Structure 1
Amino acid sequence: MELFSWVPLVIEKCFPWLMDLWEAWSIQLLVLTGLIFQIILAIFGGRRRYITGPSTRFVVWSSYLLATYVAALALGKLTVIRVNDPEKPDYDTELKALLAPLLLMQLGYPDSITAYSVEDNRLGIRQVLNFVFTVAFVVWILIRCWDSSAAASLYFPIFVSGMIKYGETIWALKSVYSENMSITLEDIDEENNIPKLLQELPTNIPDLDFFVKAYYRFDTLKPHLENWPIFVSRKWMSLEEYNVENVYLTTAIELGFMYDVIFTKGPVLYTRRGITLRFISFFCLVLTLSGFAGIFQDIFLLDMYVAYTYALLIGVTILEIYQILALPYSDWAIVKMVEHHRKPFVKTLLPFLVKMSMKKKRSSDMIGQFNMLDYCLHDKWLKFIKVPEFVGEEKQLRRYLKSTHKAIDTDLKELLLEGMKELERKRGQKPFTSRGQWTLELHNSSRELQWSIETGFDRSIVTWHMATEICYHSNFWDTKNCSGSKVLSDYMMYLLAIRPYVLSLPTNEITLEHAYSNVKKFLVDSNLGDRDGALKKLSSERVQGTDSGTGPKIFKEWHVLEEAQRLANLLNNVDDPWKLISSVWVEMMCYTAYNCQIYNHTKLLRRGGDILTHVWLLLAHKTDKFNYMKNTT
């Protein structure tokens, strides 16, 4: 700290006006900064569900963290303000004290984000303690600054508004995991009444059934809860009558409910109590603004503090109006209105809301891609990228820069759904424990290809990835199985290279470096610098296994390209190689999705969504959780 002790001295000598500004306006500037963070979070907080880029995540993350810090700093400064300063107007102290309840509102966060990550929801008790102590500080500030002036009469309504706003956030955070951890008779009765509700849906509102079915599929499964005691797939939950696009739409809506439960105020706002509290809060805020305008109407343009406070209250009110106007345009509003669809007002409004909601972007609709051969061919400029040792992750950053994203088309969705249905014949409603075995058995190829899936999962992914590349070059078919195999191959490599936490493989880094060294050595030794030339050589000439000289002993005997060539040759001799290849990739993807921790699926939700989470949810609805839990206890 002594190293930078000269900074305030330099500022005081060179820029004395900055010190004067901070002395006079520090609290007001902090509150204004907090409001800016609230606006950023209100606008961009919900966009995490469909934006994959790191820039939006960084803006939201920094605003989320700094908003709390700025509010706490401002509250701390408010506790030591000078009361009844003879050099300032009588109302100066009251104006500053009025900022304390506004800071309570800022600590409540906007509706679109209450938690940045899952960990924030698990700190419910700590948040309650923070709430109690923060409210105590605000009360102490208001009592300390209280006098008989008219401005002090504004303390109560703005304090009520701040309490409600902050309380909503605590309620939302605690409700994620503390509520509904055990099944009740009301849950069972509600589930039994759902089929009747679905039958009574108004037929003149297109697409309404997607929202209702998605909500009740979510509500009965509760996929975000690891210990939800019972779930049995029922006939009314089935999506069999839907085409592929509608299946994915319903799943996307269901994942939207899951996102809202974990990261927003949605579940608590769309209740009778939530709506009541919201309008009480807004009424108190408007009452404060109106009272302030009446009390200080004669000096708006004469006193900068008054003008600032008035502008601040207007800004907070506009932000609240924005959030209230956004309430009806939510999937939660639609499913809550369905129960009252016979009322004239709802009957008029519901079709419009459904139509607007169908236009919403629900996820990125992109699939990550990483190709090992392309990475090895075009890695020269990546070597100039250096990351400080204390930061680490240099290799992963290089891989990230070579990764891409591809739009998910209907053919890929069909391929996944068809593959999952085919695998159901083998697994029934049992947990997903196979990563290629069931497909090989269905295609009578276990004897020839069993070796390729018996190794570690990360090694299997790399071997099948390189074999798919060779087959795609030497035996291309213009079919969805062929194109889908290429996309899924690059996607599984993307998970291994960019999102290894999804696979939970401790050796992924060693595997990737060993594969990279092998492929790179082949390219250098063969003097190959282009993709077609490399694949042509791999397709026509046998590559002898070579020791790259890197990696632990357990990988010394693993010759990546030799195994990939062997697998590609065996696959090309199959009657329908791309049917087999695509089915293996689908099974590997299903295995990954099913065995990925719920925590990691929720992480994918706030990073633009991922098709892996769609697959996981579809598999979860096809698994008899009750019988599985009964058999494992």
Structure 2
Amino acid sequence: MARGAEELVVFWKEWGIQALVLLSFTLQVILLITAEIRPLIDSGMLRAIVWLAYQLADTTAIYVLGHMSVIGSQSLPEHQLMAFWAPFLLLHLGGQDNITAYSIEDNRLWMRHLQIFAVQVLAAGYVLYESSLVLHQTLLRQAAILMFVVGVVKYGERVWALKRASSSNLSGKNYQSFGTVHIRNRGVSVIISGHNYGVMPAHQLLCFPMHLLKGPLPLVALGMTVLEYEWSSLYQMAEVQLSIMYDIFYSKAPVIHTWYGICIRVMSPLATITAFMLLRRFSDEDGDKYNAVDVAGTYVLLAGAIILEITSLLRAMFSSWAQAAVLTIQPFQRYGGNSCVGLVKKTFCSYLLYLVSLPRALLSYAMSNAGLPLRYWSGSMGQHNFIHLCTDSRDNRSSKIARWMGREDLWNMLVYTQSIPVPEDFSHLLDRQLRRSVSIIKESPDHIQNSRGQAALKRMGIPQEELVSWSVGIELDESILVWHIATHVYLSWHDERYPPRPALADTIQVLSNYMFFLLAARPHMLPNNASRQRYIELCNKVVNCLKYSSAEDLVSLIRERGKALDTPEIAQTLEHDPSRSSCSAEETNGALQENLTFDRASQLGEKLIDMTLDTPATSADMLDLISQVWMEMLCYVSYRCTPDSHARQLSNGGEITTVVAILMEYMKSDIFDSKRVGLTASDRP
């Protein structure tokens, strides 16, 4: 064992730096690949891989640069070529174009990154200065200077991108900055239609919903008219904008698509290729004087840098940002009259637009033929069901072990939550719900951004004093719990009485599970006053105090409780004592008298069933009512979610609440004429 340890120490002393430099390059490749699919998949495993690579990439490069600056000229003569690697470490610290920050906090720490940038540039410069190789070899000196400049520029570009992304509001600026910003049409018609949903309108109208992620921003007035409005295209445009917002906060895109960013993208590959050619000439003349492994490692670093830089250039050329930039070129805005020069300019720009649009069009065509949608975000909704959680975790061995270890809640969040694709009819339900508020003033409690289901119940003709109306006026977290349990109870009854289950019932279940998922797993996506406390208390009561063996048994107990609470004699004897936290000896099946939330959920579930049986309303009407309540609740939490939470969730694949908030911002603005929407009489408020 001792001999093996000694051999490992000897290996590390001789080859440790080489191994770490190659590890640094490998981490950059991993980041390039994983960061590309990061905004498209909501996966904990993917997040762990990206986080690990992001942290190790900076740590490894900084460590190696620090070690090389300490050793300096003390290294053996045959290893002097390693000094040439210092600029590559700066290049690695500059990161990949598709990931500058792992989380939103990294943007706010741009000053720390600026300090680290200054220190590492000095360290790399010191390594080159101390190297006799660079001082005496003309060809290698030129290559080192080229790569040093590229490394400094790319690293500085990353810091600049972090700074731009951290500018989240207008705090500290003149009050005049909050005035209205007028955006001229410049001759470009924004047509939101099935054939032109995308890039140009998404970029041109991004300033409207951007305050949802960046806080207070200037008011915007467009000098343009929307000629055509199709909901499916508007919905897809919001998805495109979700992708653009991710680029703004977590990539170099806003910096890349500037004049200096374009210059960097063009010059960096040329400089790197030139350095490779100089190294080839140097290697032919004096390469045999140095360690063969170091020479091979240098070629790997240079070839890898060339590939990464060319990849960066191609990504920038064929991105939606480039397509939008081409569409804003003057020949597209002004036809240039009948002059030959104007016609030539317009023809050239048209071919340029075709060039940058072709890869995306080919990708869209290939994916459509394969039956796959062109994704701009994860396109998924989290699912978490209270009934299934309490049933499955009660006697599950792994849950018992987690309970014994004191990590029951964390384990259940990992095991009993999942993600599913957004249902196809979700967009239609959202469209119908938003259009009902087109003619309602924004300050009204019946407007979609203020109503949590009250407007839907009012349209149904349910009096305010009824329990159903009262259930949407309590605190948000309790309202989600009550309606989630009641919805499951009602759908279980509906499946037995009116088989088979209609598609609307499936969508209702998805919406209910999603809102419950937000409360249980992502409460930061809810307004600030929402809390998981009631959720934890209710899980404790149901799992530890009730006797049931299946989901059907638990639903039956809830219904029995609801029926018991409808009896005046029993209802008068119920007392709510929040101070009690354990089960009493008198508690039996269906008797959770200490938990008001459980009582309210039981009452509501039974009330929804009674309303279907005792009123002229059909089961389809009740399903429609429940779907409207959930959709209004979703819109309410989407619009009131904090900008920081919306921006934070973009790094995890995005959230449907952000898409909903963007669409709400458009529908309440003056861009879209409600007369073009085509409201039917049943859709009008």
> Structure 1-normalised TM-score?
0.86
1:535-550 to structure 2, matched below 5 A, reads: 535=555, 538-539=558-559, 542=562, 544=564, 550=581
CA–CA distance in structure 2, aligned partners of residues 485 and 348 of structure 1: 43
SS in 1 for 2:419: strand
- The alignment status of 1:435 with 2:452, answered yes or no, reads yes
Report the residue type matching 1:447 in the other structure.
Answer: E
- Residue 72 of structure 1: CA displacement? 0.9
1:499 corresponds to: 522
CA–CA distance in structure 2, aligned partners of residues 460 and 441 of structure 1: 17
CA–CA distance in structure 1, aligned partners of residues 443 and 273 of structure 2: 55
2:218 corresponds to: 229
2:236 corresponds to: 249
- Residue 54 of structure 1: CA displacement? 0.7
- Residue 234 of structure 1: CA displacement? 8.1
CA–CA distance in structure 2, aligned partners of residues 589 and 347 of structure 1: 39
1:631 corresponds to: none
**Among candidates 316, 323, 337, match of residue 305 of structure 2:** 316
1:27 corresponds to: 17
SS in 2 for 1:453: coil
Check whether the contact 2:180–2:218 (CA below 8 A) recurs between aligned residues.
Answer: no
SS in 1 for 2:113: helix
Q: Decide whether aligned partners of structure 1 residues 101 and 493 sit closer, same or farther in structure 2, where only a CA change above 3 A counts.
A: same
- Residue 312 of structure 1: CA displacement? 1.9
2:570 corresponds to: none
- The alignment status of 1:456 with 2:475, answered yes or no, reads yes
**Among candidates 510, 515, 519, match of residue 533 of structure 2:** 510
CA–CA distance in structure 1, aligned partners of residues 363 and 156 of structure 2: 28
1:212 corresponds to: 200
Q: Decide whether aligned partners of structure 1 residues 364 and 127 sit closer, same or farther in structure 2, where only a CA change above 3 A counts.
A: same
- Residue 551 of structure 1: CA displacement? 7.1
**Among candidates 583, 596, 602, match of residue 562 of structure 1:** 602
2:683 corresponds to: none
- Residue 233 of structure 1: CA displacement? 7.9
1:264-413 to structure 2, matched below 5 A, reads: 264-297=251-284, 299=287, 303-340=292-329, 342-344=346-348, 345-356=351-362, 358=364, 359=367, 360-379=374-393, 380-381=395-396, 382-386=398-402, 394-413=408-427
1:166 corresponds to: 155
- Residue 624 of structure 1: CA displacement? 5.6
Q: Decide whether aligned partners of structure 1 residues 214 and 393 sit closer, same or farther in structure 2, where only a CA change above 3 A counts.
A: farther
SS in 1 for 2:382: strand
Report the residue type matching 2:523 in the other structure.
Answer: P
Check whether the contact 1:544–1:562 (CA below 8 A) recurs between aligned residues.
Answer: no
SS in 2 for 1:410: coil
1:125 corresponds to: 111
SS in 2 for 1:231: strand
Check whether the contact 2:434–2:667 (CA below 8 A) recurs between aligned residues.
Answer: no
Report the residue type matching 1:131 in the other structure.
Answer: F
Check whether the contact 1:374–1:531 (CA below 8 A) recurs between aligned residues.
Answer: yes
Report the residue type matching 1:142 in the other structure.
Answer: L
Check whether the contact 1:423–1:439 (CA below 8 A) recurs between aligned residues.
Answer: no
**Among candidates 445, 461, 481, match of residue 444 of structure 1:** 461
Q: Decide whether aligned partners of structure 1 residues 184 and 311 sit closer, same or farther in structure 2, where only a CA change above 3 A counts.
A: same
Q: Decide whether aligned partners of structure 1 residues 334 and 98 sit closer, same or farther in structure 2, where only a CA change above 3 A counts.
A: same
1:193 corresponds to: 185
- Residue 107 of structure 1: CA displacement? 0.6
2:371 corresponds to: none
- Residue 216 of structure 1: CA displacement? 1.3
Q: Deviations over 1:155-212 (max 9, x none)?
A: 21010110111011112111124499478799945x1225x212699x9xx8444211
Aligned-residue RMSD, C-alpha? 3.3
Report the residue type matching 1:70 in the other structure.
Answer: T
- Residue 123 of structure 1: CA displacement? 1.6
- Residue 404 of structure 1: CA displacement? 2.1
Report the residue type matching 1:579 in the other structure.
Answer: D
- The alignment status of 1:149 with 2:140, answered yes or no, reads no
Q: How many residues align?
A: 600
- Residue 535 of structure 1: CA displacement? 3.4
- Residue 317 of structure 1: CA displacement? 1.6
2:509 corresponds to: 486
2:65 corresponds to: 75
- Residue 435 of structure 1: CA displacement? 1.6
- Residue 507 of structure 1: CA displacement? 6.7
Q: Decide whether aligned partners of structure 1 residues 620 and 79 sit closer, same or farther in structure 2, where only a CA change above 3 A counts.
A: same
- The alignment status of 1:611 with 2:639, answered yes or no, reads no
Report the residue type matching 2:507 in the other structure.
Answer: G
1:5 corresponds to: none
Report the residue type matching 2:429 in the other structure.
Answer: L
- Residue 45 of structure 1: CA displacement? 0.9
- Residue 302 of structure 1: CA displacement? 6.9
- Residue 365 of structure 1: CA displacement? 1.7
- Structure 1 portions without partners, runs of 5+: 1-9, 626-633
Q: Deviations over 1:56-107 (max 9, x none)?
A: 100100111111111110011111225266x533xx32x2211111111011
- Residue 326 of structure 1: CA displacement? 2.3
Q: Decide whether aligned partners of structure 1 residues 494 and 267 sit closer, same or farther in structure 2, where only a CA change above 3 A counts.
A: same
Q: Deviations over 1:506-551 (max 9, x none)?
A: 6733311332244446751xxx423344435655775547999637
SS in 1 for 2:24: helix
Q: Decide whether aligned partners of structure 1 residues 16 and 410 sit closer, same or farther in structure 2, where only a CA change above 3 A counts.
A: same
CA–CA distance in structure 1, aligned partners of residues 74 and 357 of structure 2: 58
Report the residue type matching 1:461 in the other structure.
Answer: I
State the percentage of identical aligned residues.
26
Report the residue type matching 2:123 in the other structure.
Answer: F
CA–CA distance in structure 2, aligned partners of residues 624 and 242 of structure 1: 16
Q: Deviations over 1:314-349 (max 9, x none)?
A: 122222222222223321121112134634331541
- Residue 276 of structure 1: CA displacement? 0.6
Q: Decide whether aligned partners of structure 1 residues 426 and 441 sit closer, same or farther in structure 2, where only a CA change above 3 A counts.
A: farther
2:623 corresponds to: 578
CA–CA distance in structure 2, aligned partners of residues 510 and 489 of structure 1: 19
Check whether the contact 1:164–1:281 (CA below 8 A) recurs between aligned residues.
Answer: no
Report the residue type matching 1:291 in the other structure.
Answer: L
Check whether the contact 1:289–1:314 (CA below 8 A) recurs between aligned residues.
Answer: yes
Larger displacement relative to structure 2 (27-36 or 420-429): 420-429
Check whether the contact 1:260–1:266 (CA below 8 A) recurs between aligned residues.
Answer: yes
Check whether the contact 2:527–2:637 (CA below 8 A) recurs between aligned residues.
Answer: no
Q: Decide whether aligned partners of structure 1 residues 101 and 186 sit closer, same or farther in structure 2, where only a CA change above 3 A counts.
A: farther
CA–CA distance in structure 1, aligned partners of residues 195 and 356 of structure 2: 11
- Structure 2 portions without partners, runs of 5+: 333-345, 368-373, 566-573, 584-591, 671-685
SS in 2 for 1:79: helix
CA–CA distance in structure 2, aligned partners of residues 41 and 350 of structure 1: 24
- Residue 251 of structure 1: CA displacement? 0.7
SS in 2 for 1:197: coil
SS in 1 for 2:420: strand
CA–CA distance in structure 1, aligned partners of residues 493 and 199 of structure 2: 45
CA–CA distance in structure 1, aligned partners of residues 167 and 17 of structure 2: 37
Check whether the contact 2:319–2:356 (CA below 8 A) recurs between aligned residues.
Answer: no
Q: Decide whether aligned partners of structure 1 residues 66 and 315 sit closer, same or farther in structure 2, where only a CA change above 3 A counts.
A: same
2:26 corresponds to: 36
Q: Deviations over 1:448-499 (max 9, x none)?
A: 2222122221111111111111211223565454332221111111111111
Check whether the contact 1:198–1:212 (CA below 8 A) recurs between aligned residues.
Answer: no
- Residue 438 of structure 1: CA displacement? 2.3
**Among candidates 525, 530, 539, match of residue 550 of structure 2:** 530
- Residue 427 of structure 1: CA displacement? 4.7
Check whether the contact 1:514–1:551 (CA below 8 A) recurs between aligned residues.
Answer: no
- Residue 416 of structure 1: CA displacement? 1.7
CA–CA distance in structure 2, aligned partners of residues 426 and 188 of structure 1: 26
- Residue 385 of structure 1: CA displacement? 4.2
CA–CA distance in structure 1, aligned partners of residues 480 and 389 of structure 2: 16
Q: Decide whether aligned partners of structure 1 residues 570 and 514 sit closer, same or farther in structure 2, where only a CA change above 3 A counts.
A: farther
